[in-house]
Chain A
């Protein structure tokens, strides 16, 4: 059932005139194949989320869904080159990070449908997908808490002297919580291998970023914790990729944490039940005009790297993959009611709950 989700990245062409190590037209910062991989992944992320939204609207699955449509460049730029051993600490809006990191679509749709084949066997909200084999932390809903846990993973990586990194994602609203500041402060003190990505999409549910912070650039806040902070156009996939890769490389090589503020926008409501009446239609239109996927398309077209055929091919073949994943998930059963009592401890407590006179768990 494994689905291939990453375009194979062609081995980087050996630079011909890399004597001075600087990028030039023959030794570009980003290979053409990588640019195409970034673009096709963004297209797929959007198709994936639009499919999830449609299924939700059709009430094919229950619960809620928090789409990151409009923010694809951030997730793809940060996640596309991560290794399986690297950890992702996602927020409620980072479902697509699972896909980017390589989680099979069947598993992701099982999560949406709350089936036994989902990583959490139907316990959490549809969008709260984690995946242990690829080191994606199963999210709670507590805003910002994943940053602190991710920081602990980074501490362990440092202690174990490996070169794994952690990418911890959250929204601008999360920066108001104490958690956020505790995580960054500690990472600064210990010089931990972690990259914090603040997806500043201007809104935290109905609350404007203007009511979250007095500063214009959230990246400023890193200064107070003693490590670099950078603001990037989160709708520019190339910029996002470059900034994220530099931060990831620095973390990998012992250079410590980075805070990246990606300025972006969520196109739809906070969740599928939010009509988002608190913001103006003009604002939404203005940002839709800055569509990161369309921008990347223009960029690739300019470089003659994109043909209409290739684009259509990505869409058609991925839609088929989505169809198959949906079909798969819909066929899976839900958990048996009694499984409500499982996975509390390293030992079983079913018998204790069912026959309350026994008090010895099955160790």
Chain B
């Protein structure tokens, strides 16, 4: 049966809550309403108000109380409705969750999975469109994942919940119901996905695109178009995990293709592309046949709402095509 990204997340939550009574959900509008986007639909009815907690409007306590509950043996799956509103929880995430294990030399830990809705291109404007993945990928101590397919959405969420570390799980709002990515998803209650490696979504030998999240879609389309136009074969790597980065898969690809373009929805400066480019320059300089390129949003504070401005901002197929032609012609 063909499953949407949203239904895959919902199924993962349901299965893990059935399997483990210590798993619970907390967040704004997650209960009675089933979430702002309907991701937690039906869970309140099945598991009740004490395991699907409609929290007060306070991201700080949503995450902090999850950290405390995790320390005390629960497996919380808190939700942030829009990443744009995660800032009241920044102390909890960066100073507490990321550092608890380290500061207690491993004696205290907080295995929680913070689900965060992110991403632009929906006309949501400055405060309903952001992609702040880098803030978290910059924090050692956090595992940061961003699945791009329904199978990963399910398998990585289940694996995150079972993982003995704090995981920030980024789900892109434009993927939730995207028909093009619906797919068969393993139904076994013990289906888990790997949390540590990139996935090669399309093999190739002439150039590599590294991307994640919604940007995988235009990246795959670009690879297809380039193949039609020039016959060049582009390898497309889905990062899946933003921290800790899987260097090996990326370096192996560069060793083969010699050309790299990173596509990210986040703005350019110090985005994940900066780290990948630096790593490749440091560790695979001798493999490179062309300068590393990035397709990223411009360095402006957030995505403007008006269509012409949003379009200028968002990385998309035409922008990726321009970069890839440049990369291949070098």
B56 contacts chain A at the CB level, 8 A cutoff: yes
Q: Choose, from A183-191, A217-225, A339-347, the stretch at the interface.
A: A339-347
A174 contacts chain B at the CB level, 8 A cutoff: yes
A353 contacts chain B at the CB level, 8 A cutoff: yes
Find chain A residues with CB under 8 A from B58 CB: 176-178
Structural contact, A123 and B85, CB atoms closer than 8 A: no
Cross-chain contact of B127 among A126, A142, A335 (Cβ < 8 A):
A142
CB-CB nearest in chain B for A273:
B36
Q: Choose, from A5-13, A154-162, A203-211, the stretch at the interface.
A: A203-211
A204 to B128, CA, bound (A): 17
A310 contacts chain B at the CB level, 8 A cutoff: no
CB-CB nearest in chain B for A174:
B57
Structural contact, B54 and A211, CB atoms closer than 8 A: yes
Nearest CB of chain B from residue A177's CB, rounded to whole Å: 5
Which A residues, 16 to 75, have Cβ-Cβ distances below 8 Å to chain B?
A: 62-64
A160 to B311, CA, bound (A): 43
B72 contacts chain A at the CB level, 8 A cutoff: no
Structural contact, B306 and A122, CB atoms closer than 8 A: yes
B186 contacts chain A at the CB level, 8 A cutoff: no
Nearest CB of chain B from residue A291's CB, rounded to whole Å: 26
Nearest CB of chain B from residue A268's CB, rounded to whole Å: 15
Cross-chain contact of A339 among B56, B60, B299, B309 (Cβ < 8 A):
B309
A121 to B304, CA, bound (A): 9
Q: Mark B300-322, 1 if CB is under 8 A from A, else 0.
A: 11001111110111000000000
Contact A124/B309 with A205-B28, A205-B33, A205-B36 known, Cβ cut-off 8 Å: no
Structural contact, B312 and A337, CB atoms closer than 8 A: yes
B126 contacts chain A at the CB level, 8 A cutoff: yes
Structural contact, B125 and A337, CB atoms closer than 8 A: no
B298 contacts chain A at the CB level, 8 A cutoff: yes
Nearest CB of chain B from residue A174's CB, rounded to whole Å: 7
Find chain A residues with CB under 8 A from B128 CB: 125, 141
Which of A63, A123, A179, A205: most chain B CB closer than 10 A?
A: A123
Which A residues, 289 to 322, have Cβ-Cβ distances below 8 Å to chain B?
A: none
B79 contacts chain A at the CB level, 8 A cutoff: no
Q: Mark A135-152, 1 if CB is under 8 A from B, else 0.
A: 000001111000000000
The dominant DSSP class at the A interface is loop
B124 contacts chain A at the CB level, 8 A cutoff: yes
Find chain A residues with CB under 8 A from B183 CB: none
A102 contacts chain B at the CB level, 8 A cutoff: no
Structural contact, B127 and A141, CB atoms closer than 8 A: yes
Nearest CB of chain A from residue B31's CB, rounded to whole Å: 8
A234 contacts chain B at the CB level, 8 A cutoff: no
Cross-chain contact of B60 among A126, A178, A277 (Cβ < 8 A):
A178
Contact A63/B28 with A207-B57, A212-B56 known, Cβ cut-off 8 Å: no
Which B residues, 59 to 97, have Cβ-Cβ distances below 8 Å to chain A?
A: 59-61, 84-85, 87-88
Find chain A residues with CB under 8 A from B88 CB: 142, 177-179
Contact A341/B300 with A141-B128, A205-B36, A335-B308 known, Cβ cut-off 8 Å: yes
Find chain B residues with CB under 8 A from A179 CB: 88
CB-CB nearest in chain A for B298:
A353
A132 contacts chain B at the CB level, 8 A cutoff: no
A211 to B306, CA, bound (A): 36
Q: Mark B1-45, 1 if CB is under 8 A from A, else 0.
A: 000000000000000000000000000110111001000000000
Nearest CB of chain A from residue B80's CB, rounded to whole Å: 12
A124 to B313, CA, bound (A): 14
Which B residues, 279 to 312, have Cβ-Cβ distances below 8 Å to chain A?
A: 298-301, 304-309, 311-312
Find chain A residues with CB under 8 A from B307 CB: 62, 114, 334
B244 contacts chain A at the CB level, 8 A cutoff: no
B123 contacts chain A at the CB level, 8 A cutoff: yes
Structural contact, B29 and A123, CB atoms closer than 8 A: no
Contact A340/B127 with A207-B29, A334-B306, A335-B306 known, Cβ cut-off 8 Å: no
6 closest Cβ pairs, A-B complex: A122-B306, A141-B127, A176-B56, A206-B33, A337-B312, A114-B306
Residues of B in contact with A (beta carbons under 8 Å apart): 28-29, 31-33, 36, 54-61, 84-85, 87-88, 123-128, 298-301, 304-309, 311-313
19 contacts between A and B (CB under 8 A): A62-B307, A114-B307, A115-B306, A122-B305, A128-B125, A141-B84, A142-B84, A142-B127, A177-B57, A204-B28, A205-B28, A207-B57, A278-B32, A334-B308, A335-B306, A337-B309, A337-B312, A340-B308, A341-B312
